[in-house]
Amino acid sequence: MHTIQIDEGWCKGCALCVIYCPTRALQVAARFSPRGVHPPELVRPERCNGCRLCELLCPDFAITVTEEGRVHA
């Protein structure tokens, strides 16, 4: 099981992570971030296989994929 951490101060809401997610586990959230954009959210965590493509393709270093029970600094 994987989770994603979004730094909402850095995310610009370009939704590249959502567009390129191979398993369509991500979705653009309806709520607004403090910056006034729609951040991505992991709506189907059971589908996420931890490929980290969203993390690699994020132009703003805003996503970090973490495994359950193991949190990166």
Partner 1 sequence: MATGLKIKTAAELRTNYLRREMFPTIFCDGCGLGNVLNYTLWAIDEVGLDLDRTVFVSGIGCSSRLPGYINADGLHATHGRALAFASGIRAANPDLTVIVFTGDGDGAGIGGNHLLHTIRRNMDVTVILVNNFTYGMTGGQSAPTTPDGGFSSTTPYGNIEHPLDICELAKALGAPYVARWPVVSPAQPVKSIAEGIRKRGFALIEMLTPCPTAYGRRNGLKEIEQIWRWYREHTVLLDEWEWVEQFGSPEEREALRGKLKIGVFQDTERETFEDRWAALVAREKL
Between residues 19 and 45, which has the closer beta carbon with respect to partner 1? 19
- Residue choice 3, 15, 29, 41 for contact with partner 1 (CB under 8 A): 15
Strand partners, 40: 28
Q: Tokens 């567009």, residue?
A: 19
- Residue choice 12, 29, 38, 41 for contact with partner 1 (CB under 8 A): 12
Between residues 14 and 29, which has the closer beta carbon with respect to partner 1? 14
29 to 68: interface string for partner 1, x by CB under 8 A = ------x----------------xx-xxxxxxxxxxxx--
Between residues 5 and 43, which has the closer beta carbon with respect to partner 1? 5
Q: Tokens 């965590």, residue?
A: 45
Contacts of residue 17, defined as CB under 8 A and 6 or more positions apart, other chains included, come to 26, 40, 53, 54, 57, 58, 63
3-state class (DSSP) for residue 38: coil
